[in-house]
Amino acid sequence: MMSRKNPNTTDNKKYEARNTKYEIRNKLKLNERMIMKRNLFFRGTGTALVTPFASDGVVDENALKFLIDFQIKNGVEAIIPAGTTGESATLSEGELQFVIRTVVEKARGKVKVIAGAGSNDTSKAIKLARLACEAGADAILSVTPYYNKPTQEGLYRHYAVIAEEVDAPIVMYNVPGRTASNMDAETVLRIAEEIPNIIGVKEASGNLSQIMEILRNRHAGFGVWSGDDAITLPMIALGADGVISVVSNEVPKLFSRMVRFALDGKFDQALKLHNNLLPLMNFNFIESNPIPVKAVLAEMGYIAEVYRLPLIPLSDKHRSKMISLLKNLKLIK
């Protein structure tokens, strides 16, 4: 009886072999020169865009286009479709491409488009990243592997292979509260030093000591963006380049102004806006993201409050607080 090859085993061996070549090649001075010439991809506010669904559960194209225009008109520097906030876990590959392509067509030449394309399966992460590139994304946002909890060396190899296989700038996303796995400063800096098309990290560990270590030792041009709205201001004070934000879905003009004030060193003005928006930033995580932010956008009349299971609508016990917050910010009457 003939034995069959396991295709996943074959893929793993192929990627391991390529990874070995990649580590050798990274020792060449060519890569060092490429890293020294790396330019910062964007500075300011990137919105982790929600994906609106119609009442029948399909992607609401009209609402999506409205949200894109709303972001661009109100001054953000980047839009990030199909990430965690965009409910990527329940989007089909076709929907993922549709959402990214729609954003690209509306945003082209106006703001950067960084598409979510991560997985805890390296070969799947490569496939999703290629689909995002085909849809026209300027760069890829790739979350650290979740659930299977790789070692630091495993994280390095995961990103090294993706970078080898995908011809696009890549932003790593470290969010241990969701993945149960933290990518430490040493690993981030190693990747920044050795892999030229990995251009930065969205840092949502909440560990300021770790974040400071990255900021202090990174190469010029390697971006560090806050992944937590509430600590964006202190992170910029420490040298971060901006934020990939949830709250900017709701208040893109105010939040991007706060970020620009901070980046320009105008911390008194930035702090006033930060304090004004902080209750909304915190409310957005009173239940699992993106439940609260979609509830807010629905209350503002921008989308229908529709989710895909296992996410469900905002609890009744939090709705009165939401209404009060929105009235205080004059987002609703």
Q: Which distant-in-sequence residues (6+ apart) come within 8 Å of 142 by Cβ?
A: 117, 118, 125, 129, 159, 162, 170, 171, 172, 173
Q: 165, 131, 197, 149: which is closest to 17 by C-alpha? A: 165
Distance (Å) of CA 85 to CA 7, 152, 215, 231 = 32, 26, 25, 18
Measured in whole angstroms, the distance separating CA 90 from the mean position of its chain's CA atoms is: 16
Mapped onto helix, strand or coil, the DSSP state of residue 213 is: helix
The reply to whether 13 belongs to the active site is: no
The reply to whether 173 belongs to the active site is: yes
Q: Where are the alpha helices (DSSP H) in 108-224?
A: 122-134, 152-165, 176-179, 185-194, 208-217
Q: 290, 243, 277: which is closest to 262 by C-alpha? A: 243
Mutual angle of helices 267-283 and 291-299, in 10-degree steps: 100
Candidates 106, 112, 202, 294; catalytic one:
202
Residue with tokens 């009349």: 301
The token pair at 74 is 């109100």
Q: Which distant-in-sequence residues (6+ apart) come within 8 Å of 118 by Cβ?
A: 88, 125, 128, 141, 142, 143, 144, 173
Is 325:282 a contact under the CB 8 Å cutoff? Answer: no
Distance (Å) of CA 296 to CA 114, 199, 250 = 24, 32, 7
Q: C-alpha angle 311/316/317, rounded to 5°?
A: 110
Candidates 173, 253, 272, 317; catalytic one:
173
Residue 245: HSE in the Cβ half-sphere, 13 Å Cα cutoff: 34
The residues that are catalytic are 173, 202
